[in-house]
Amino acid sequence: MRGAVVNGRRMKLVGGLAVALAVVGGLGATGAAAAPGSPNGPRYTAGSPGAGDTYFPNAGNGGYDVQHYDLDLTYAPPEADPAPLVGQLDGTATIDLVATQDLDRFNLDLRGMEVGSLTVNGKPATAVAPPAPGAEVDGAAYWHVQNDADRIWELTVQPRPKLKAGESVQLVIEYGGQTARPLDIEEALYGWVTTRDGAMVVSEPDGSMTWYPVSDHQTDKASYSFAITVPEGKVAVANGMQPKPEETAGGWTTWYWDAPDQQASYLTTASVGDFDLRDTYYSASGVPIIDAVDADVTPARLLVTNASLARQVEMIDFYEQYFGGYPFVAYGSIVDDDTVFYALETQTRPVYSRQASEGTVAHELAHQWFGDAVSPERWQDIWLNEGWASYASWMWDEHDGGATVQESYNEWYASEEPDSEYWDLQIGDPGPLGLFQDPVYDRGAGALHALRLELGDETFFAGTQLWLERYNDSAGTAEDFQAVFEEVSGEDLDGFFQTWLYEQAKPPATWTTP
Ligand code: TRP
Ligand code: ZN
């Protein structure tokens, strides 16, 4: 679903991309010229092969709006230890979407998997070789371009009859392949990361396409349901709640999960392992909490992990006072024993690598509001995720009797000299290779604290709540964020945000004291 607020601006953005898309069209990933069409009749065109994000131009797609993904997955992890880290994933994705333009063709993103069959509203489409740009293809068809060198993975669907704007469509896609350990643009592990005992599934920013056909961008959120079949004894944990207990037959167990909230693709998980799936417990406000911890986590790390997870209830209570009610149906953590080395705020159920420290647990929980409920509309807005999650963990620290937020800010501010190259990164536009650089996190947190000092607590938290309400289940940009704070404060904040997000210099010491 595309949020109502975002819609108008998004459409403009997609229109403005016409020129860039003509170039991408040369890949054969999209149809070329607009269908002729009579002046008043429908003009069937190809949906764009990207959502319009300049950092990841081929992530997401245009021309439709996904409502729901139903993922029926069967996964055989690597056979034995030691064995190559290769698994086998077979899936059926049932995708409900609504056309947002008259569609001749449209794309999904799918990487490293092969499609076995595809139906549109129950009608089979034929697999064909990618046609030359602009070439006509007979009947209902699909083709798949996988160009690893250029990071282009596009599954093109040509529905026949063509789709009219507003029409609902159900796609059923059978697909599968060997799973490996995919890398993101900066060569960090992500996506369906095959592990010795299962898979750690963490897909930020565009790794969901490594395990299901998807419009892989946060401007098209949807609800999800999962049926994940794994060898008996393995546990599969996805987003949301278990609608019914797992079922075992013939040496395989199927795990069911439902995630009814609007969810960005990078926040989906379906992690598999030798997990200890713990009993559900509840926050004071009634949020069910379901944790899964890998049985192979070492005793020392298990001690740290258990101590941190035990604080989740208090953390939810604390954040709810500042950020409003917890936004989703459930919460909980997955702690794997893998070597991915970072955690991810997968919606309702963050995934941790090897252990969950208290600071990281506070960080990933805060992401449920900042990043998950309200997502960055463009990847360049990543500081809204990481700055906020980092700032919220400073707040937790203060609440828990550690450093005050002001002390954390001062310590950060003093940590880099003005001539340090640390200050060169524009956190408001860090580039696709800069998404997870330190300044995005701590200069981002510093920017939020400086804003709080500038506006005072009351206005700052009123703005925060307005931001979370207005863009809930949707996405917003840094400009939208600034506009909210200008609205609540009546101040012009151009200079402030210019200094904190874009100036390649240490911000002046104006904001070092309350
Ligand atoms: N978003 C994650 C967090 O801060 C971090 C993350 C995602 C990351 N992908 C990464 C960190 C790649 C380093 C490299 O919780
Ligand atoms: Zn984070």
Under the banding of pLDDT at 50, 70 and 90, the label for residue 40 is low
Tell me the pLDDT tens digit for each residue of 396-431: 999 999 999 999 999 999 999 999 999 999 999 999
Q: What is the pLDDT of residue 269?
A: 98
Q: Which atom of ligand 1 is nearest to the CA of 364?
A: 15
Pocket perturbation via mutation, ligand 1, pick of 183, 204, 381, 427 by most ligand atoms within 8 A of CB = 204
What distance in angstroms lies between residue 458's CA and the mean position of ligand 1's atoms? 31
Tell me the pLDDT tens digit for each residue of 323-348: 999 999 999 999 999 999 999 999 99
| DSSP string for residues in 207-268 | TGGGTS-B--STTS-EEEEEEEEEETT-EEEESSB-SS--EEETTEEEEEEEEEEEE-GGG-
Which residues are found with C-beta within 5 Å of the ion, ligand 2? 386, 389
User: In the predicted model, is pLDDT for residue 34 greater than 60?
Assistant: no
CATH 1.10.390.10 domain span(s) along the chain: 376-501
Above pLDDT 90, what percent of the chain? 89
Instruction: Give the residue ranges of DSSP H helices in 259-381.
Output: 299-309, 312-323, 358-367
Planar angle of CA 349, 80, 208, nearest 5 degrees: 35
Distance CA(31)–CA(43), nearest Å, equals: 13
Ligand found nearest the CA of 366: 2
Give the single-character DSSP code of 295: T
Under the banding of pLDDT at 50, 70 and 90, the label for residue 70 is very high
Q: Residue with the nearest Cα to atom 15 of ligand 1?
A: 344
Superfamily of domain 376-501: Neutral Protease Domain 2 (1.10.390.10)
CATH 2.60.40.1730 domain span(s) along the chain: 4-367
Under the banding of pLDDT at 50, 70 and 90, the label for residue 38 is low
What distance in angstroms lies between residue 367's CA and the mean position of ligand 2's atoms? 7
What distance in angstroms lies between residue 102's CA and the mean position of ligand 1's atoms? 38
Main-chain dihedrals φ then ψ at residue 249, nearest 5 degrees: -155, 135
Q: What is the pLDDT of residue 133?
A: 86
What distance in angstroms lies between residue 461's CA and the mean position of ligand 1's atoms? 26
Q: What is the pLDDT of residue 28?
A: 38
Question: Do residues 256 and 71 touch, judged by C-beta distance below 8 A?
Answer: no
- What pTM value is reported for the model? 0.93
What distance in angstroms lies between residue 389's CA and the mean position of ligand 1's atoms? 12
Tell me the pLDDT tens digit for each residue of 463-480: 999 999 999 999 999 999
What distance in angstroms lies between residue 434's CA and the mean position of ligand 2's atoms? 14
User: In the predicted model, is pLDDT for residue 22 greater than 90?
Assistant: no
Q: Which CATH code is given to the segment(s) 4-367? A: 2.60.40.1730
User: In the predicted model, is pLDDT for residue 18 greater than 90?
Assistant: no
Ligand found nearest the CA of 393: 2
Q: Which atom of ligand 1 is nearest to the CA of 386?
A: 4
Ligand found nearest the CA of 438: 1
Burial of 239 per CB tally in 10 Å (0-12, 13-18, 19+): buried
Q: Residue with the nearest Cα to atom 9 of ligand 1?
A: 204
Question: Do residues 226 and 257 touch, judged by C-beta distance below 8 A?
Answer: yes
Q: Which atom of ligand 1 is nearest to the CA of 367?
A: 15
Question: Do residues 26 and 17 touch, judged by C-beta distance below 8 A?
Answer: no
What distance in angstroms lies between residue 387's CA and the mean position of ligand 2's atoms? 8
Element (H, E) at 483: helix 478-489
Lining residues, ligand 1, CB within 6 Å: 188, 204, 342-345, 363-364, 386, 436
Element (H, E) at 141: strand 141-147
Give the single-character DSSP code of 23: H
Tell me the pLDDT tens digit for each residue of 245-278: 999 999 999 999 999 999 999 999 999 999 999 9
Under the banding of pLDDT at 50, 70 and 90, the label for residue 2 is low
Above pLDDT 70, what percent of the chain? 92
Q: What is the pLDDT of residue 39?
A: 61
What distance in angstroms lies between residue 396's CA and the mean position of ligand 2's atoms? 15
User: In the predicted model, is pLDDT for residue 7 greater than 90?
Assistant: no
Planar angle of CA 123, 125, 126, nearest 5 degrees: 145
Beta strands 288-289 and 281-282 are antiparallel
Pocket perturbation via mutation, ligand 1, pick of 185, 208, 344 by most ligand atoms within 8 A of CB = 344
| DSSP string for residues in 108-137 | EB--S-EEEEEEETTEEEEE-PPPPTT---
Tell me the pLDDT tens digit for each residue of 212-226: 999 999 999 999 999
Distance CA(374)–CA(26), nearest Å, equals: 35
Q: Which residue has the higher pLDDT, 6 or 82?
A: 82
Q: Kindly report the average pLDDT of the chain as a whole number.
A: 93
Tell me the pLDDT tens digit for each residue of 225-249: 999 999 999 999 999 999 999 999 9
Planar angle of CA 439, 417, 357, nearest 5 degrees: 40
Main-chain dihedrals φ then ψ at residue 446, nearest 5 degrees: -60, -40
Report the pLDDT averaged over residues 490-504.
98
Q: Which residues, other chains included, contact 89 with Cβ-Cβ below 8 Å and sequence gap of 6+?
A: 73, 74, 75, 113, 176, 177, 178, 179, 192, 211
Main-chain dihedrals φ then ψ at residue 39, nearest 5 degrees: -55, -35
